[in-house]
Amino acid sequence: ARRIDPAREPGLSPEQRRFMERVERAQRQRALQRRLRGRNALLGIGIGALVLGISPADGYTFYTVSQEGFLDELEQEAERARALA
């Protein structure tokens, strides 16, 4: 299709020029939405990869420092402090 510049085309009525401007605006909006969708997908994949990359380390930490063992150690230290006092 031949590209027409509405401002320089002599045979176009003002109504036709407004219509062409609306169509071009709609096309730019769709292109922008397509780009944003792509960026959002990449951002989601990046965040997901980051979360999955951190999770194994956190899982190992939670496994090695269980809540019960941690509290038992604190209780033993408190008993030793009481015995010394």
Cα 9 to Cα 14: distance, rounded to the nearest angstrom: 11
Query: Residue 40 class from Cβ within 10 Å (0-12 exposed, 13-18 middle, 19+ buried)?
Result: exposed
Cα 29 to Cα 78: distance, rounded to the nearest angstrom: 66
pTM of the predicted structure, to 2 decimals: 0.46
Beta carbons within 10 angstroms of residue 82's beta carbon: 8
Whether residue 1 is predicted with pLDDT greater than 70 in this model: the reply is no
Confidence of residue 32 (pLDDT cuts 50, 70, 90): very high
Cα 37 to Cα 29: distance, rounded to the nearest angstrom: 12
- What pLDDT, in 10s, does the model give residues 36-80? 999 999 999 999 888 777 777 777 777 776 666 777 788 899 999
